Amino acid sequence: MSMEMEWDDPMYRSTVALFERTAESMDLDPNIRRRLRYPDRAIITTFPVRMDDGRVESFHGYRVQHNNTRGPFKGGLRYSLDVNLGEVTALAMLMSVKCAVMGLPLGGAKGGVRVDPSKLSRAELQRLTRRYTTEIINDIGPESDIPAPDMGTNEQTMAWIMDTYSQMKGHAVPAVVTGKPVSVGGSLGRGQATGRGVVYMVMDAARHLGMDLGEKTTAAVQGFGNVGMHAARKLHKMGVKVVAVSDVYGAIQNPAGLDIRALKRWVNKHGKVAGFPESEPLDPAHLVELPVDVLIPAAIGGVINEKNVQKLRCRILAEGANGPVTAAANEVLRETRDVFVIPDVLANAGGVTVSYFEWVQGLQSFFWSAKEINQRLYQIMSKSFHEVIDVAARRKVDMRTAAMMHGIGRMEEAMKLRGLFP
């Protein structure tokens, strides 16, 4: 794949268009605008991995560091066949904004390896992860760039990265990554943080709209992975009827509400939501069109597009995934006040917020209780929600534009205060 094709990615084009439109509407300083439009650096590597059968295969890896004016680069690492430079760059840019929206002293980064992790054995995944880590080892660290899990990676992946980095440094360096197992310096509550944070934002949005989140409230969750599953569990625990869920294999529904705890046990045993006894099959494409109070797209990007956006019948759209709404669909939503959008840079920021907590705990070697984690997470997310609501009201703009303005404005302030070197 040529470099031109790498950059010609729909998500990159969409993200840059959103940034440019926001910059124009907030009259962003032209020098800051030019600097933020591109990442500080992009690391592209092709590296060999020996497979279990003795073959040597080459893989393409990326780490894009967008801006570190407010603190060290921070962002996830994904393993997917769709990974490319354009996608990773777009996600890094959004991470910069997300950290600024939440008021975290961090910058934005993102990384990935173009691979289908489901096709590799555990031993192959470990070798791939360790080799990728050595390729970027001089560009990551507790004070420079801190990776975290994302699509296709998990706490085991982070443990391998931490160990590889630590072996090279000659001593344990837990703070080099977040999202690790608790036994090697991870934080309580990190695995549930993104899904829990989405629900925290739904709670605040419901209060803002005068809605009562109870047994009469319905929700649909697209994606039953780490984010969607924990969001569904939290809603179910609150008494909300989760009437439909989906995963990569299919979708199910039950108008009376799904038993999410039983569904989780089913998925743990069978690997998919399809076939769950107390449900009926649903066309996955129709899940986002269901008449529910809360819709949480928590799978992949671009699922709400110009073809189905007019069919949305939810009151609150909480973006658990990154970029679930295309640029064209977003233009429709901006003019549709019937749907209250909680944009991804706000809705799914629980993960990076608790990653920040984990990083702080690792640096000071002092750990907090799960109760402290959840309380601090809600305080930060709720404060950020009301700040964005305030921007939307003052500027008379939609929530996505308000969130982007809020984050970019904080970055602009920091960049002007630090000045230009030399």
Active site residues: 110
Tally of CB atoms within 10 A around 188: 20
Contact 104, 124 (CB under 8 A): no
Strands 73-79 and 56-67: unpaired
What crossing angle do the helices spanning 122-136 and 155-169 adopt, rounded to 10°? 50
Q: How many CB atoms lie within 10 A of CB 10?
A: 15
Query: Are the C-beta atoms of 4 and 84 separated by less than 8 Å?
Result: no
Our separate counts of H helices and E strands in the chain read 14, 12
CA distance 2 to 404: 31
Distance of CA 224 to the CA centre of its chain: 14
Phi, psi of 181 (to 5 degrees): -60, 145
Q: Give CA separation, 10 vs 39, 82, 86, 113, 225, in Å.
A: 17, 12, 8, 19, 24
* Residues 347/321, Cβ–Cβ less than 8 Å: no
